[in-house]
Each structure stands twice: as C-alpha cells, then as structure tokens.
Amino acid sequence: MLRRLQLLFLAVVVVVAAFSTGWPFLFFLVYLGLLVGGGSYVLTRIGLSDLEAGYAVSQLSGHVGEKLRVTYTLRNTGRLFKPWLEVHNPTTLPGGLPGRALTLRGREERSWLVRTPMVRRGHFRIEPLQIRTGDPFGFFEASAGVGQGATLVVYPMIDALPMWKLPPANIEGAHASPERTLQTTPLATTVRPYAPGDSMNRIHWRSTARFGEIQVKEFELEQTADAWIFLDLEAGLEAGVGDRSTTEVAVRAAASITDKAIGENRAVGITVSAHRTTVLPADRGGRQRLKILQLLAAVEADGRTPLAEALVANVGRMRRGMTAVVITASDDPAFVRPLATLRGRGIPVAVVLLDAAAFDPDLTDSPEADARRQRSRAVRHTLSEYELPTFVVDPDRPLSEALAR
C-alpha cells in the first residue's frame, strides 16, 4: 500500500509538472506511465480469468509418522498466456504445505503431488486453495480462493505390543487368548465325541444325528474382560520435549494399549486427567477405538488434578472383572493406595510408569535429577510392596520392549 501511494504521488507530480511547463519529455513520461500502468492493470485483471483449479487431500485422518498426499490441478481454459501464478494452501500443519509458482500457456493443464509428513498429533486446518497473480512491476495483484477448507485429525503413533498382556481379571473372559474350559459359556467352538462324565445338557443333537454317535459341545472362555485406562497428564509432571517428552510417550502408550485391547475383543474405557477430566465409558469395536484416538489426538499436559484424586473420583466406575491400567509420570506415592483398594475389590491393576528424570536431558547428573530418581525409586518400591505389576518406560527403549514381560 505504501508503495502504491508513493507511485501515485509521483504520477501526480509528473502530470502537474508536464502541464505546468509543457516540456515534451514530461509528457512522454506521462504517456509511458499510462501505458505501463494500464497494461499492468489489464494483465492482472485477466490473470485469473479462464482458470480452473482444485485440490484433493488423500485422507482426513492419519497417525503420526504417516505422509499426507495432496494433489493439485490447475487448468487454463482460455487462449491467453498466464505468465505468473502462485498457488498455495494456508494450513496450521507443522511445516505447512509447499506452494508453487508457475506459468500456463493457453489450453494447458498442470497437476502435481505434494507429500508432507504428519509429525505431530492434533487437529489441524487446511484452508481453501489460494491463487495469486500480478504484473511484472508489482503495481497490482489479484487473488482468489478455490474450494473449501478441511479439518485433518492426526492420531498418535501406535506401537505394536506383541508381548503386552493385561493382568487377567477373576472372571470368565479375562484371558487374552482362547482357553478351553469345563464350564458352560456362551462361546461354543467345536464338538467332540461323548466321554463319561459329560453333562447331558452339553449334547449337540444335530451333530449327534449327523455323525451317528453322541457329540458334545466344547466351550472356550470369551475374550471379553474390560480394560480401563487412567491417563495422567498433570502439568507439573511433564519432562522432555517433542516426541521424547513424557506427554507424547504417555499418549502413545495409551493409544497402543487401546489398540491391543480392542484387537483382543475387549471393551475399553478411558479416563484422561488433563485440563478437565474426560471419561469415555467402556465399549468395544472400531467405533470405540476411533473415539479414544480422537480424544488422545487433542489432549495436552495441562491437568491440575493429582492422580490420587482422579483415581478416588473415578474408582466408582470400576467393577469386578475390569482391569485398570494407569499411565503416569508421577513421583508421588499417594496414588498407590487407591490402586491397592482396587485389588482388594478383585480388580487387577497394571502401572505404566514413565521415568521423568530420564526424559529431561537438562537434568542429567544434577541434584534435581538425583532427587527425581530417588522419588521414582520410592514410587516403584511402594508399588512392589503392594505387588502391583509395573512397567518402567524411558525414552531410550522402544515402547514394545518396555511393556513386555
């Protein structure tokens, strides 16, 4: 804008001087300015005419580490040459989406593909496509928006946990793998010939008629024990930065355990203690998995409620047959006692404990780091006193290894 005002002021001065003095050279400058300015204006006005543009996003959701693909298409349907076009997508994605400057001849079409990694979980916005053009002298410019914006949800990374097993609850269906049982359960898997001692109500009459001898049903324990995850994101406990922070590793652990448990046909519920305590009731299936991942994509380490208080407030949601999984970087042993009460009610507990001192490189070999390590050892000692299974996670070991027995 300032440049345009300066040019306008200069043009007014030249016009006034030309008509005041009558010098031919000044009139030449006036005519040249009209030609250049008018030509630049017309070139800018027709720069966006007869254009067709669009973009397509390969996906509206994904996991950290995957790549987002965006396909752009720009077509000149007219015969006039487009000397300069700038195309880009404003976005809140970390790193953004690269734009492109190009020219288009008459009746020409250009398409290109952009790949960008999704490096951070969260909800991000991709704005409508922006096309900008102008004149060679920079006097004028024109722009237009194309299409509609889109919201991209980036879920946390999911690690495969082949060796992770939830502590079995004291009910039928608490096992992670099929197990034969002499009890009658809703899961009848096969039939076998009758053996002395088999109950008459286990006879499968259709198979008996087909085989010509008495066949009885065999049952397996269902894989339906519920799991409830407590994710502690208290603000004062965060250590480390980026992917090597306690927050990101805790969220990744919650997502990985959720994926593993739902893959075992378990019902999974979750309590996230962040800026506000969010509770998702236990459910199973792909829809529940998506709900939990959407929640984990948005949470931050801004909680104000200590883990012990969150456990006491939500312990009423737990029932016999559930398995509680607590993910925390807390070095306060006060949260252990509520977990011990869960065990007394027949609710198994597993604790995923993040070693906060190992996540903060600035505290290496410092008195504060030594104090943190001592508090962490005290928490582990208290957990071992109550015989609560504990998995210690640090940034130098893969999550699948840290959560393996």
pLDDT at 220: 59
pLDDT at 195: 85
**pLDDT band with cut points at 50, 70 and 90 for residue 252:** very high
Which tens digit of pLDDT belongs to each residue from 13-46?
777 777 788 788 777 777 788 888 788 888 888 8
Residue 230 contacts residue 307 (beta carbons within 8 Å): yes
> Cα(390)–Cα(351) distance, rounded to whole angstroms?
5
**pLDDT band with cut points at 50, 70 and 90 for residue 321:** confident
Give percent above pLDDT 70 in the chain.
89
pLDDT at 344: 75
Residue 167 contacts residue 348 (beta carbons within 8 Å): yes
pLDDT at 170: 55
pLDDT at 293: 96
- For the chain, the three-class secondary structure string (H helix, E strand, C coil) is CHHHHHHHHHHHHHHHHHHHHCCHHHHHHHHHHHHHHHHHHHHHHHCCCCEEEEEEECCCEEECCCEEEEEEEEEECCCCCEEEEEEECCECCCCCCCCEEEEECCCCEEEEEEEEECCCCEEEEECCEEEEEECCCCCCEEEEEECCCEEEEEECCCCCCCCCCCCCCCCCCECCCCCEECCCCCCEEEEEECCCCCCHHHECHHHHHHHCCCEEEEEECCECCCEEEEEECEHHHCCCCHHHCHHHHHHHHHHHHHHHHHHCCCCEEEEEECCCEEEEEEECCHHHHHHHHHHHHHCCCCECCCHHHHHHHHHHHCCCCCEEEEEECCCCHHHHHHHHHHHHCCCCEEEEEECHHHHCHHHCCCHHHHHHHHHHHHHHHHHHHCCCCEEEECCCCCHHHHCCC
**pLDDT band with cut points at 50, 70 and 90 for residue 185:** low
Q: Which domains does the chain have, with CATH numbers?
A: 51-155 (2.60.40.10), 189-220 (no CATH), 227-402 (3.40.50.410)
pLDDT at 174: 46
pLDDT at 42: 84
Which tens digit of pLDDT belongs to each residue from 261-287?
998 888 899 999 988 889 999 888 899
Mean pLDDT, the chain, as a whole number?
85
- Sequence-distant (≥ 6) Cβ neighbours of residue 138 within 8 angstroms: 3
How is residue 382 written in tokens? 């208290």
**The dihedral formed by the CA atoms of 193, 196, 197 and 201, expressed in degrees to the nearest 10:** 40
Is pLDDT at 61 greater than 90 in this prediction?
A: yes
> Cα(401)–Cα(373) distance, rounded to whole angstroms?
21
Average pLDDT, integer, range 223-252: 86
What residues are paired with 393 via a beta bridge? 354
pLDDT at 177: 47
pLDDT at 256: 95
Average pLDDT, integer, range 175-194: 60
Which tens digit of pLDDT belongs to each residue from 121-175?
999 999 999 999 988 877 788 999 998 899 999 999 999 998 888 776 555 444 4
How is residue 126 written in tokens? 């991709």
> Cα(60)–Cα(75) distance, rounded to whole angstroms?
25
Instruction: Give the residue, 277 or 405, on which the prediction is more confident.
Output: 277
> Cα(57)–Cα(114) distance, rounded to whole angstroms?
10
Average pLDDT, integer, range 342-367: 79
pLDDT at 291: 94
Average pLDDT, integer, range 366-392: 83
pLDDT at 104: 93
Instruction: Give the residue, 22 or 401, on which the prediction is more confident.
Output: 401
Residue count (the chain): 405
Is pLDDT at 297 greater than 70 in this prediction?
A: yes
Is pLDDT at 339 greater than 80 in this prediction?
A: yes
Q: Is the dihedral of CA 184, 186, 187, 188 positive or negative?
A: positive
